[in-house]
Amino acid sequence: MTNDAISQVQLPAVQFSDREREVIFTQLWERTSDGLVLIQAERFVYLNSRFAEMLGYRIADLQDMPFLDFVHPQDLSIVTDHYQRRMAGEPVPARYECGLLHRSGQRISVELNAGIVEFQGQPADLVFLRDVSDHKRAQKRMQRLLDQQLILN
């Protein structure tokens, strides 16, 4: 859900106990089909199992690692720039595509949606990541077929 969509959701005034909030948060964090990470001081503070799976790691392997180590070199400068500017409070796109590095070295195309949150009194970057690699491959295949069709006609 995008930040715009989240801000427009009207929830009934429901009071949750601390335990209920913790259970709901944990379930949302782990059951989403997107990868979720919380980054602070350029390191993974929290991440869900879906994100770890995307990269071919276990959560424990990634915990407290510098997130930029997992950005594809082709996209490193733009991701670094967006992160630094976002953390400085400057306007940057919340949603964009970039490449990450799978443990095997393979590029994974992701669409990410990032925004600043406060965590333990300090700013942090909450990032939702969706693997769009299959979609990108399908687009390329479709384009090749269209190009071949044009050549044949």
Q: What is the pLDDT of residue 2?
A: 46
CA distance between the termini of the chain? 43
pTM across the whole model: 0.74
Q: What is the pLDDT of residue 116?
A: 95
Q: Are 72 and 105 in contact (CB under 8 A)?
A: no
Block means of pLDDT (10 residues each) for the chain, 153 residues, are 51 69 67 89 95 97 97 97 96 95 96 95 95 77 74 75
Query: What CATH number belongs to 32-152?
Result: 3.30.450.20
Domain ranges of the chain: 32-152
Q: What is the pLDDT of residue 131?
A: 95
Q: What is the pLDDT of residue 9?
A: 55
